[in-house]
Amino acid sequence: MNTNTYRFFADLVLILHVSFVMFVVFGLLAILCGGFCHWKWIRNPWFRSAHLGAIALVVIQAWLGIICPLTILENHFREKGGDNNTYGGSFIAHWLHQVLFFQAAPWVFGLCYTLFGIAVLFSWVKYRPRPFLKRS
């Protein structure tokens, strides 16, 4: 593969990463708003289980000190694409990075993710999802 192909895949992974973050953040906002407004779709057990699983994964990774696999994969593609330590990706990739990655001590992230996870658990209790349907 040439360097442009690696950069393309790095940007694709970054978009996936940002989409994951948006699912977690906006998913909770939708659940809280939807519970207040009595939206039925927010009680979908598949959506709620995926949402709870996503934040649980983030919290566990943070407390175990595990770097997100999407970050590792993106960095691998960027390195193969010839990008150095200064960010050399596309315009979209640059701005997605500015929003997604910022500097703080690791314990700050762990604390923030944990508090967010507690909010998701609260939403699970406050606005319970429907049970999964049993098929005969």
Q: In this predicted model, what pLDDT tens digit does every residue of 77-93 receive, in sequence order?
A: 989 988 765 455 554 55
1 contacts: CB under 8 Å, gap ≥ 6: 80
- Within a domain: 57: yes
CB-based burial label for 112 (10 Å; 0-12, 13-18, 19+): middle
- Within a domain: 95: yes
- Within a domain: 132: no
**What distance in Å separates the CA atoms of residue 60 and residue 105, rounded to the nearest whole number?**
17
Quickly tell me which residue has 């057990």 as its tokens. Answer: 45
- Residue 22: which domain range? 3-126
Q: What angle do CA 56, 57, 61 make, to 5 degrees?
A: 115
What pLDDT score was predicted for residue 107?
A: 83
pTM: 0.84
CA 51 to chain centre: 10
- Within a domain: 134: no
The 10s digit of each residue's pLDDT in 13-31 is 989 998 999 999 999 999 9
- Within a domain: 133: no
Q: Which residues of the chain have pLDDT under 70?
A: 84-97, 100-101, 136
DSSP state of 1: -
